[in-house]
Structure 1
Amino acid sequence: MSNYLPEDSSELPMIDSFSPRGCDRARAQVSALLDGELSELEEADLRQHLDGCPACRTYHAGAESISGSLRAAPLEELDFPIAVPNRHYVATRWIQAASAAAMVLVAIGLGSSQGILAGHDGLGSASSSSSPGRASSSATYLQSPDYERRLLNSLRTPRRGRTGGAVAQ
C-alpha cells in the first residue's frame, strides 16, 4: 500500500463520497486524473469513488475516451508561421515612445521659457513688464520666414560665459 494510507483505512475520516457533493468533486478530479496531476492520496480517493459509483464511472470512461481521441489525433498543419514578438523589440519600442514623449515635453518647456524671456506670459499676450514695442518685435521675429535659420545660428554661436571662456568650434 502507499505511504500515505494507513494499513487500517478505517482510521481515515471518510466523506460520504457518494453524495451529490462527492460526485461533483469526483467529476472535477477526473480531468486531473487523466493528466496525471493528482497526488496518490487524491487518486486513491477518486478510484474508490469510481469503484462504487456507476454514474461517475461512466463519466470517467467518456472523458477517458475523448482524451484518448484527442491525443491520437494528428496535429493540424498551419498555413502561416506563428511569430512570437521579440521581447527586445517590445522593450525598444517602449523606450522609443518614452523618449519621444520626453522630447516633446522638453520642447514645450523650452518654447514656454523662450516666450517668457521674450516678454510673453504664455497666454499669447505680452506681459506687463515688457514694452509693447518689444512684444511686437518678438512676434514679428517669430513669424519671419527665416526664423528657423536664425534660431539654429543662435544655438550654434557660442555666447560669452556659456563655454567657460573657451571658444567653441
Structure 2
Amino acid sequence: NRLAAQTRESFSAAVLDGDEVVIVARNVSLGGQRLMAYGLHLGARLPAHATSTGRVLLAAMSRGSFSAWLKGRELPRLTPRTTVDHKLFRQVIVRVREDDLCVAQEEHELGVHALAVPLRNMQGRTVAALNVVASPERLELSSLQKDLLPLLLDAARELRPLL
C-alpha cells in the first residue's frame, strides 16, 4: 500500500508456476494517472518469458534448472518486441541474473514497460518477484530505474522477514 501511495503507480508480486507467473499480490494506486495493463489482476497468469517478474524468477533458477525449463519450450511472440529466440533469451536471463533485476520493454504488451526485483526469504532464496508497470509515454525508463528501483529494493528488504 505504501508503494502505491508514495508513487501513484501499481505494483504486483508474482510466483512462477510452470511457464507462467501468477500474480499473488496486487496494489493499485488510487490517485493520479496510472497504467492498468491488460490482464493484471490478482490470480492472473502471464507468460514468464515475456514479463519482468517471470524473468526475475527464471534467473533465480540454477543454470541446469533453467536449461531444463527452456528445453523444447516455445516462446510465443506477444508483441514485436518479445524475445522468442532461445539463444537471445538465454542472454536476457544471464543479464537479469547479473543485474539482479529485470526491465521488460513492451515485451508482454505494447505501451507497457515493467521493472521487477526478486523477493527473497531469510535464507536468500528467491520466492517471488515484485514489479511496477508504467507507460513509456508517462514515465521514461530512466525515471523508472532512478526513482522507482530504490523503492522496490526497499520494499523487497522490508518483506524479507515475512517470506
Q: What is the TM-score normalised by the length of structure 1?
A: 0.20
- The structure with the greater share of residues assigned to strand is 2
Q: Give the structure with higher Rg (CA).
A: 1
- The structure with the greater share of residues assigned to helix is 1
Instruction: Flag the structure with more relative contact order, 1 or 2, with Cα contacts below 8 A and sequence separation at least 6.
Output: 2
Q: What is the TM-score normalised by the length of structure 2?
A: 0.21
